[in-house]
Structure 1
C-alpha cells in the first residue's frame, strides 16, 4: 500500500519527530511513503522510512527532480506548485496528516474528495479526519480503512 504523508514544509521539532516516526512505521509495515518531496514533514517522513528500509516517492511542486530531499527514492517533477497537492494524495491509498497549514488543509480536502481515508496527528480538525494519538495508531487506522 502507498500512504501519503502530508504536512508542513516548516515545522516544529515535535512535528518533525512525529513525521519521522510515522515514516518508520509505514516502512516497517511494508508500505511506501508518498509525499510532496521537499522539507519539513515530507523530509522527516522520508528519512524515517529510509531508516527502516522503506521506499519513498516525492511529488514535487517544481519542474526539477533535483529539488527533492535527500531521502526521496523516486522524485516526480510536476511544475504545478500547490496544484501538485492533488497528485500527492491521488498517488496514495490513504493519507496521514501531520501538523501543517493551508497546503496541508488542501491535501486533506483532496484526500476526502478522492475517498482516501485520512488519519490526523496534531493537524486540522476536519470532519472525516480520524484524530490519532500516535504514528502507529494512524497507520493502523488507514490500513483498516483501506482493507475494510
Structure 2
C-alpha cells in the first residue's frame, strides 16, 4: 500500500535516524512511501525505503521534478507551494506523522479531512493521532488501521 510520511523539512540527527528507520520498515514490508519529496524527514524516509528496495513518490511544492531529493523514484511537480500539503495525505492509504511544525500540522489536518488514519511517532499530540513508540509499531499500526 502507499503510506504517506510527513514531518519537518529541517530536522536533527535523531529525527533523521527515526525517519530513515520508518522508511526502512515500510520498504522492507513492500509499501510505497509518499512524501513531500524534498529534504529533512522526506529525504530520510526515502533513503530508508530505498535501502530496502522500496518505492518512493515525492509530491513537490515546486514546478521542477529535478528538485526532488535523490531517493525519490517518482517526482510529481505541482507548482502549488504549501498547498501541495493537501496532496500528500490524499495519496496514501494512511499517514505516519513524525516531528514537524506548521506544514506537518496542515498535513495532519488534511489527513483528517480525507479520513486517513494517522499514526504519530514523536509528533504532535492531537485527537485522532494514534501515538506509538517505534518505527515498527508505526507500520504495524497503519497496516492494522487500513485492514480494518
TM-score calculated relative to the size of structure 1: 0.99
Structure 1 distance, partners of 2:63, 2:106, is 21
Alignment-derived partner of residue 66 in structure 2: 66
Matched, 1:141 2:141: yes
Alignment-derived partner of residue 117 in structure 1: 117
Alignment-derived partner of residue 104 in structure 1: 104
Alignment-derived partner of residue 21 in structure 1: 21
Deviation at 1:106, TM superposition (A): 0.4
Q: Give the CA RMSD over aligned residues.
A: 0.5
Deviation at 1:112, TM superposition (A): 1.1
Paired positions, count: 148
TM-score calculated relative to the size of structure 2: 0.99
Structure 2 distance, partners of 1:81, 1:89, is 15
Q: What's the CA shift string for 1:45-84, capped at 9, x where partnerless?
A: 0000000000000000000000000000000000001100
Specify every segment of 5 or more residues in structure 2 that has no aligned partner in the other structure, as ranges. none
Deviation at 1:86, TM superposition (A): 0.7
Specify every segment of 5 or more residues in structure 1 that has no aligned partner in the other structure, as ranges. none
Structure 1 distance, partners of 2:147, 2:8, is 28
Q: What's the CA shift string for 1:85-130, capped at 9, x where partnerless?
A: 1101101000001100000000001011111001111111110001
